[in-house]
Structure 1
Amino acid sequence: MKNWNYILPAMAAGGEQVLQKLNDHGYDAYFVGGCVRDELMQRTVTDMDITTSATPDQVITLFPDSIPTGLQHGTVTVRSGGHHYEVTTFRTESGYEDYRRPTEVHFVDRVEEDLKRRDFTMNAIARNVKGELLDPFHGQEDIKLGLVKCVGIAEDRFEEDALRIMRGVRFASVFNFDLDSDTWAGMLRQRDKLGYIAMERVRTEMDKMMAGPFPSKGVQLLMDSRLTEYVKSPISFITMDRKWVTYLDKLPQNAVYRYEMVLLLLQIRSTDANTLLREWTFSGETRDRITKMLAFHEEILASLEALNLQDQSNETNGHYSALRTNWISLVLHLGIEAAQDWLTINNQLLKEEGIFSSAYNEHCPLLLREADSWTKEMGVYQVKDLELGGADLLRETGRKGGPWLGRTMKILLHEVALGHIPNVHDDLLQAAKKVIEDEI
């Protein structure tokens, strides 16, 4: 293994075996792209791509158990040492369709020609089996300078593949790099091409950016460039205040939290967010989580405003009791995950006064201080947590099922969560009978 320090030794050894075998049969072969870049940047290397002068057929001949994953683009997946490596023939591309996919691929003999087609200089560095680097576009220098810079003419690179515009922003954000001035200008001139790119591909770049260590940098670049206003399902970030955007970096390194905060800062309502997230191809699970947190926030704000309007004889105790009751009701209605997400985000946002309302600033400190304890004290969160089941209630009362059953069970759940009734079968049964009597 030739001086790989940021990769599993077995993966590096398996990749070098592939390169060595190609070399032994007279073919040029190099590691290329992200693995070389990340090693130079002292970042964990998670996979290794290989480029070679061997054609796909020649690669398959050398590695009979390989997988022909992308023959039209010259790519074969080779197995070695328990790992998989994408091996792609040196190539040039032309005739790009919809500013994304090349219609023509030509195999070439020299790695320098292959490197010319790549997006950014940091990704256009090749490394041979001896550990020697081939860097015709000075990618190492740009890495040291902290620059995202296009290979060749930026406008050409983005016209070939407009998704590279979002990739450039993502790299700048994740690596905390600056965008080269020509690269930035090329992005702005070609941003209208983003309308041709599938939203799923745009979202994937956003996901990686939002899950990175410096999402605020990426969001600020999107604010300055207005790139997201040109995608198939546009959204504008320019209304956000930059001082609030910086709090994104302080959240746990999870894309969902960051998306939730952005939507809060944009003051997008839960119903509108659901439509937007669907258009952006988020999964149903992620949409549900984000929209429930937004709905939770809307209910909290409404309850705090109502609290300010109430004339309570004992304001401190009255506020505490009202906040606790409302919190528990929301946890039962929208779930613990929505509550925990809201707490995580608002523990950051409350530090910025005036972000929502005077009622928010007045009451949220108490809410944030006590809510975790209130949630734990509930003890029950779903009807199934009760010691009295619906079937038990039907049997004990001799009544037929109907809407009354669901209503009664929800009342019991709420009363137990508030601590008004113990979660004991007989106590629940007596309380249920009283609820039924009151309804008759």
Structure 2
Amino acid sequence: MTRIPGYVNEILQALERGGHEAWCVGGCVRDRFLGREPQDWDVTTSARPEQTMALFGDRAEATGLRHGTVTVRCGTERVEVTTFRRDGAYRDHRRPETVAFTDSLTEDLRRRDFTVNAMAMDRHGVVCDPFGGQEDLARGVLRCVGTAEERLREDALRILRGLRFSACLGLVPEAETEAAMHRCAPLLADIAPERIWEELRRLLCGAWAAETLRRFPDVLAVFWPETAAMVGFEQHSRHHCYDVWEHTLHALAAVPGETVLRCTALLHDVGKPACFTLDSAGNGHFPGHPEQGAVLADAMLRRLRVDNRTRETVVRLVRWHDRNIPRTPAGIGRALSELGEEDLRRLLEIKRADNLAQARQDLLGEIRLAGDILDRLVEENACVRINQLAVRGGDLAELGLAGAQIGRTLRALLDAVLDGAVPNTREALMQYARNMNHETV
């Protein structure tokens, strides 16, 4: 079981020496019981904020005095120290209008979201668990503290936090909590898009993300209504044994838990419902769905104010996911030239997952071949970009070329190298350029 770090123990000791109760609280205690390394260590105390500030002097920052929070620096580490409190009425389904400090740890734990986060532990290992968090952890259950609907209506972001805990920790919401999540889901419309994305991003990377989304497609559809059309949408194709949503979840589960890959897998077929056609034989087709999906994905990610790099990468991969890339050095080389190594490897992961989620996994060998060719091109430092050519624009100017003609010729030279028609040497490329432009030069 993870030990309390020395810098946290130092804060606990200092508060106790000052005559105050001091406990580690929340996620760090939960993760300790799960055998996971806590990401953050938070401390709760009977000390009032001004007492904490006085106790730690210039190491203390008043980061949230209204809510009783002081941040204490310990070397390069920062720990939030918060006074025991009771929350008043919540506004906008997000934050309490008032807080009242209390001397009761149990009262402080009572205001928290889920029982597994409503546990505290002192520096001696004594645990305060008034709501059965340890038992719920042992049973793999996620349960709200108190009345589920009341907790979720107070702060609607708790719905997504709960789904994240389910996706990342494998905790299954108990019946009352799950029902309240579904009922309260529309309240997420009041939550800032940046906060939604932060929870969704972490949810998608969880080991149980597919299982969680399968139970809660209605929650996702509150802020991404485009996904609702995927649920139950039959594909009417011999290539597919699942509807669009179920296929998507199988593909999502088949890629590594990384933000871009999981988000691309989730959105790769979002354009299908709008592109569906049925031929005279009753076979379904989705002409143009990658482009339509890219347009929708771009709008959806902008709506949550996702950073440009992530958004642009996901959109590019959605647009490319169904593209046939010839499994030849020239074909892979051109894809490498356009996408770069990192995104081409991501694309192959998406193609692999897409095929695994179909009725027949008949493309896996071709995808492996594409990966082998990519490995070889990278190992050989093969020429796949204009700046890797053995000639430059200045060399072509010596032949009398100018302006746009130089750019067109460099592109043609790269194509010739990719096709194996000419070696990437200055002499061979210059001769090729002379032959191409003989009327000019």
- Aligned partners of 1:194 and 1:232 also within 8 Å: no
Tell me: CA distance 1:30–1:299, structure 2 relative to 1, closer, same or farther (3 Å). Answer: same
Cross-structure match for 2:367: 368
Cross-structure match for 1:254: 258
- The 5 Å alignment of 1:26-425 reads 26-64=19-57, 65-80=59-74, 82-223=76-217, 226-231=218-223, 235-236=227-228, 238=231, 239=233, 240-242=244-246, 245-266=249-270, 267=272, 269-300=293-324, 325-354=330-359, 364-365=363-364, 367-375=366-374, 376-377=376-377, 379-394=382-397, 396-401=398-403, 403-425=404-426
Counterpart code for 1:148: L
- Aligned partners of 2:400 and 2:440 also within 8 Å: no
Tell me: CA distance 1:417–1:324, structure 2 relative to 1, closer, same or farther (3 Å). Answer: closer
Counterpart code for 1:390: G
The CA deviation at 1:30 is 0.8
The CA deviation at 1:26 is 1.4
The CA deviation at 1:385 is 1.0
- Aligned partners of 2:248 and 2:265 also within 8 Å: no
> Which of 428-437 and 20-29 deviates more?
428-437
The CA deviation at 1:331 is 3.0
Looking at structure 1, the residues matched to 306 and 392 of structure 2 have their Cα atoms a distance apart, in angstroms, of: 36
Per-residue CA distance 1:226-257 (angstroms, 9 max, x = gap): 11222277643524343652343332221211
- Aligned partners of 2:252 and 2:262 also within 8 Å: yes
Looking at structure 1, the residues matched to 171 and 247 of structure 2 have their Cα atoms a distance apart, in angstroms, of: 20
Looking at structure 2, the residues matched to 210 and 165 of structure 1 have their Cα atoms a distance apart, in angstroms, of: 15
Cross-structure match for 1:6: 2
Cross-structure match for 1:435: 436
Q: Which runs of 5+ in 2 are unaligned?
A: 234-243, 273-291
Counterpart code for 1:428: L
Per-residue CA distance 1:350-379 (angstroms, 9 max, x = gap): 234448xxxxx76x3453132134333381
Counterpart code for 1:203: W
TM-score, normalised on structure 2?
Answer: 0.85
Per-residue CA distance 1:261-285 (angstroms, 9 max, x = gap): 1112434522332222222222111
- Aligned partners of 1:197 and 1:231 also within 8 Å: no
The CA deviation at 1:38 is 0.4
Per-residue CA distance 1:175-209 (angstroms, 9 max, x = gap): 11110111111111211111001111111111111
Q: Which runs of 5+ in 1 are unaligned?
A: 304-318, 356-360
Looking at structure 2, the residues matched to 325 and 379 of structure 1 have their Cα atoms a distance apart, in angstroms, of: 11
- Aligned partners of 1:95 and 1:102 also within 8 Å: yes
TM-score, normalised on structure 1?
Answer: 0.85
Number of residues paired by the alignment?
404
Per-residue CA distance 1:84-111 (angstroms, 9 max, x = gap): 2100011122232211122212111111
User: Secondary structure in 1 aligned to 2:295?
Assistant: helix
Per-residue CA distance 1:281-304 (angstroms, 9 max, x = gap): 22111122112222222432xx7x
Aligned-residue sequence identity (percent) comes to: 33
